[in-house]
Each structure stands twice: as C-alpha cells, then as structure tokens.
A = this chain, B = another copy of it.
Amino acid sequence: MSPPSAMEVSAVSDTSGVIIPNPLSAPVQSNEVNGRRRKTNISQWGVAAPCDTANFRLKSHDHKPKAKRWNHVMTQEATIRKGNSLKEAAKFLGRPGIISLGGGLPSSEYFPFEELSIKVPKIGHFSEAETREFGVVITAGKHDLAENKSNFDIATAFNYGQGSGSAQLLRFMTEHTEMVHDPPYQDWKCTMTVGSTSATDMILRMFMRPGDMILSEEYTFSAFVETARPMGVRVCGVPIDAEGLLPEEMDKILTTWDHVARGARKPHFLYTVPTGQNPTGATQSAERRRALYKVCQKHDIYIMEDEPYYFLQMQPYTGPNAPDVPPPSSHVEFIKSLVPSYLSMDTEGRVIRFDSFSKVIAPGSRVGWITAPEEVVERYSKHADVSTQNPAGMSQLILFKLLDEHWGHAGYLDWLIHIRMEYTKRRDIILSACAKYLPTEVMSWKPPMAGMFHWMNVDFRKHPDYPGKSIEMIEESIFMRVIDHGALVMRGSWFYADAEEEHDTLFFRATYAAAPGEKIDEGIRRLGEAVREEFGLGEYIKR
C-alpha cells in the first residue's frame, strides 16, 4: 500500500531549496517552479521583509479576468483598517547604507538559540519506524542567511514578521496552490493564517454584521457555529445528502428568503467544508460543486471554502473483501484524482479558500493560509498585523526546512500520497468493523471518501421509547450507554447548524483518524453492543 518505487525517488532537493524534478512527473509544475525561482528578489528574505505572492506565481495570469469586488460586503472595521504605520516606514530601509534606529526589533544576539534541528522522514520512507531508523536530520543555523547557507535562519524566522508570513514559506504555499488549483482569475494571492480556526474568526469579522445569517451544511463544524454565534451571526443550515449541500435546496432557500420571517437580510456568504465534511464525512463531487457555484453566482453568494481534509481524499472503497485500488502512479495522476476545488473553478473571484497543515503535517504548527482575491488578502494581512501578527517563526522555519529545502514540492506530494494511502487503510478498518458489528436493522451509513469522519445514521423511530422520548433524549441515552460500554463517539446534535431548528434525524460521528486499528475495531464493537442493547436487539453473533 505504500507509494510505488518510482515515486520513492521522485524528487530530491538540495539545501538551497532548488528542486530537482522527477522526470516521471514532468508535466507537474514543480519543474517550472524551479525555473521561476531563479528570478526572486533577495531582499524579501530579510527580517520582517515585505513580500508579494504575485511574484511567486509561475504562470502569467494576466489573460484571466479580474476578481469581482468585495468592498460592498465588508464591515466598517475591515474597510477602515489602515495597518501598521511603523511597518510602512520599512520602505526607507531599501536605501543603501541606511542605519535603522527605527523599528523596535530585538537583536538576534539575544535569541538564546544557536541551532535548530529536526529529524524527519526521507522521501519514500515515510513511516514512523522508517523515520526512526533512516530519518534525516536537517539543521537551521542562527545566521545561515547572512552566511549564504540558506534563505531562512533563526535570526530571521525568530524575529518579528509581516502579517503575510515570511516570503520563504509563503512562496512554497503559493506555488503549491498554483500547482494544485490554478485559480482561473487574475489577481489571486495567498497570505498565512495562524490556522483555519483563527482565519474563520477573522473572515467573519471582515464580512458579517451582527444579525446576519450565513449559509452552511445543516450539520456543520461546531467550532464554526461557536465562532459565529457570539458575533450575533446565525447559521442557516442547508439540507444535505451523501454528497453534501444540495444546490436546489440552497437555491430554494435563497429564492424564497423572507427577511422578516428569518429575522435577517438575505445571506451573502456560504461556509462549506466540501471535502470530507465535518461531521458528515460527505464529499461534494465536481458536478455538485459546479452546480453550487452556479447557485452562488445567481444569488451573489461569496464562498468560504474550508479545506483541511482536501488531501485526505482516499482511494475508492471497494468493499470489505475486494482487492485494494493501486495508488496513483504519478504526481499528475494524483492531482487529477482530487475533486476539483471551488478555488479551481472560481472564474469570478468569489471564493476564500482555507488551507491548513493541521491534518497533513501537524496541528501544533498553527500555520495555514488563505487564497483569495488581492482585495481580501490585503485586508486580511493588515488585520493580522495588529492582531495575530503571523504564524510563529519557529513553526515557519521548521516547515520551510522540511517542505521547501528537504522534500521540495515533489517530495511533499509523495508525502500526501502516503497520507492518502494510510487514511484509506484506516477508513477501510472502520467500514469493515461497522459491517461486522453494527445492527443494520437500525443503523446505516455511506463509506466516506475523504477526511477523518464516519457518520452513522440511527433510525430513532425504531427505538422502544419513541415517540415517548424526543430524538435528543434518545440520542443522549444511546450516547451514555456507548460510554458505559467503553467507547466515545460524538453526538450529531452537537453539529446542528441551528440548534433551534426542528430536526428529524439522529446521527453519531466516529473518527478513524486518532486510534490505532485494533482500537477502532473494538470501539465500533462496543458501539454496536450498546445500540443493540438500547434498541432491545439480539446480541451480536459473529457472522
């Protein structure tokens, strides 16, 4: 199940960050990225140096249309924000020989770090065991930049930075975005976030007014609702099926919007997790996305595309005993196998895409990025300057050393294929356990195609206490019984987009991301046992 050997040597990168491309994957742009990189301006590597992601794009996007304007949907706060005047004084630092007594940047002399090293996997040898044995130690020195050993070092990364994040890592993100999504409008840019949770908070502040409603899946990421509600923003749940949001339903909601009955003006924003949605695991197909984009165009809806699970798209599910599908044989095939993103079909520039390293590298980096029209990116990074600033330089340096200098784009794609295959295994384990242990008389599910979550429907109408007990009471009762049986799954009602709406479904969410395989199997066994008891069904008999 590991990537094929051709991929194992698909790319190496030397310490200067120059990528030697994999000949097998020549059509993938990492090759061309290499060509482009020779033109970069070295002043952008300095401490808190400004940079412009437009310079990191390989292709010319000039022939494409410009993004639509966002200013009319921006809050007052976002509109009047000026950014940091002191950072603007940095423009004078370009003068030759100038001595700055200006910016209050501490001297790196007082950073008590001389070197930082990480032991990381060799390309193609990605498992924990292999890394323990054959891992490579890569080191960042304190003054590597001044000593021409690297584009990034401790003295630079550990100092203050711009709201956009460092040029060093932002270049990698921009190139990666262009490779995978190639946005079809002209003025797209990237800027870093301290994670998509923070980005959600900031984007809501930029575009929502108290009393507004925002569209989302009827079961949605609970932290999103919990971020929005205190701002006075309510979430309007759109009905879903196994492929997520239903375009006709969304169109109907918007077409028949009654601002008096709803107590809110017609929504102008959609928040969606199109791939491996949390909690339902649903993945919108390409066709579904195109239909939803059209509805957004029709009603002038802007889209927050939150995609932490994009690269957790798995191999097709072939059933419990069928042979596995072989992994993608090249980077091109891998990228082609991914459902196209909204960003990739965003001809009008109405999408803000959220990317995150949390699910594919580590949540503790607190590093992500958004891709959006220049107007949004500029406002966002100005806000960051006086708020979150930028992701920790410590994280940025670690990611840069790993992704840019050690793996390069090709190696990173290999890593993503590795993750894909690993999640496929995990997904197959949970599905096989469900087939074995869950009472299909009252439970049903669809195989997830992406992400970390398995979503199981429970037929509450068959519960002995129904309709005497409400759906919530039955859910509570099952939940507590599952705990008594020694397993924890999440209650569907925790994910209601709008808890005040009526609901006539009962779900539980289980993740296959966290526990080892045998625990997943045992956890599902306990869940099945508890549900059988709860519904007064016979005990599980090994089939």
Complex CA gap A135/B488 in Å reads 46
Complex CA gap A231/B387 in Å reads 12
Complex CA gap A365/B527 in Å reads 42
Q: Is A359 an interface residue (CB 8 A)?
A: yes
Complex CA gap A523/B100 in Å reads 7
- What class of interface size applies to chain A in its complex with B? 35 or more
Complex CA gap A231/B101 in Å reads 31
Partner of A120, one of B114, B360, B398: B114
Residue in chain B with minimal CB distance to A120: B112
Is A488 a contact partner of B106 (Cβ separation < 8 A)?
no
In the bound complex, residues from chain B placing their C-beta under 8 Å from that of A487 are 98-101
Partner of A118, one of B80, B116, B526: B116
User: How many copies of this chain?
Assistant: 2
Minimal beta-carbon separation of A330 from chain B (angstroms): 22
In the bound complex, residues from chain B placing their C-beta under 8 Å from that of A110 are 360, 419, 422
In the bound complex, residues from chain B placing their C-beta under 8 Å from that of A358 are 106, 160
Partner of A104, one of B157, B229, B386, B453: B453
The stretch among A26-34, A61-69, A369-377, A511-519 that forms the contact with chain B is: A511-519
Q: Is A471 an interface residue (CB 8 A)?
A: no
Q: Is A344 an interface residue (CB 8 A)?
A: no
Complex CA gap A390/B366 in Å reads 8
For the complex with contacts A82-B229, A101-B523, A364-B392, 19 further pairs of A-B residues with Cβ separation under 8 Å are: A76-B230, A77-B231, A84-B222, A84-B226, A85-B494, A99-B486, A99-B487, A104-B511, A106-B514, A109-B128, A111-B361, A113-B119, A113-B362, A114-B135, A115-B118, A158-B362, A160-B358, A227-B386, A365-B393
Closest 4 CB pairs of A and B: A364-B393, A158-B364, A99-B523, A101-B510
A residues lining the B interface (CB < 8 Å): 76-78, 80-86, 89, 92-93, 95, 97-107, 109-121, 126, 128, 131-132, 135, 137, 142, 157-161, 194-195, 197-198, 201, 222-223, 226-227, 229-232, 278, 358-367, 385-398, 402, 415, 419, 422, 452-453, 483, 486-490, 494, 510-516, 519-520, 522-524, 526-527
Q: Supply 24 A–B pairs (Cβ within 8 Å), ascending by A.
A: A82-B230, A89-B488, A89-B490, A95-B486, A99-B487, A99-B515, A101-B515, A106-B363, A107-B513, A110-B360, A111-B364, A112-B121, A114-B119, A115-B117, A115-B118, A160-B358, A194-B389, A201-B386, A223-B386, A363-B393, A364-B392, A366-B366, A366-B391, A367-B392
